[in-house]
Each structure stands twice: as C-alpha cells, then as structure tokens.
Amino acid sequence: MPHPVTHFEIVHKDAKQLQSFYSDIFGWKIDANNPMEYGTVDTGEGIGGGIGQAPDSYAGHITFYIQVEDPKATLEQIEKAGGKTMMPPDDVPGGPTIAQFQDPSGNVVGLVKA
C-alpha cells in the first residue's frame, strides 16, 4: 500500500500573520472560522493543509503528514528504527486520527490515519 503525503501544516506563535502572508502571496484560501482559529488551507491544486497557533512554549514547525493504516503500529516501527514519538495518536474533533514523530535527524513528521 502506498503512503501518500496528504496534508501539510505550518505552526507558529503568530498564526494569523502567517495565514495572511500565505494567503496574500500565493492566493491560498484559508478558513480559520473555528474555535481553535486553525486555518484550513485550500491551495487550489495539490494537497491542502493548515496554519495554526503554536503553544507559548514552542517556536513552531512546518511538517507534512503521511497517510498510514495504523498510526500506533507505525510509531512503534519508527521508534525501533531510531525515531521518537512526539505526539501519540489523537482524534481531531470532527477530523482524522493524527500523530507526530521525530525522525533520526530531528525533523518532525506527521501521520494521519487512512
């Protein structure tokens, strides 16, 4: 089974600024009309994504999400191969189950349940 990249995410301390930046420069349609003000991004073509607020203690990140059948089992494989779980599987309200890991080089990558 292939494991496509299905989502990207940009998280920073000033999410509204980045939402405006990417919308203005690239013409992305960004809808942040939700309680978390998480901007769902429609790029027009290709994969969609999101631009959200980082917690106060965190500078932010840019990551992409890889589709898998079982995020928990995939995280177990990742840890055996030298990666580290950053966020265990979690159900997004009204959305999919997601998780995040750090690869051996320190890059944060996301998983999303198929």
Each domain of the chain, given as residue ranges in start order, spans 5-113
| Among the listed residues 6, 3, 1, the one whose alpha carbon sits nearest the alpha carbon of residue 64 | 6
Superfamily of domain 5-113: 2,3-Dihydroxybiphenyl 1,2-Dioxygenase, domain 1 (3.10.180.10)
DSSP states of 61-76: EEEEEEEES-HHHHHH
pLDDT in tens, the chain (114 residues): 689 999 999 999 899 999 999 999 999 999 999 998 999 999 999 899 999 998 888 788 899 999 999 999 999 999 999 999 999 999 988 889 999 999 988 888 999 998
Q: 98, 49 in Cβ contact below 8 A?
A: no
Q: How many CB atoms lie within 10 A of CB 66?
A: 17
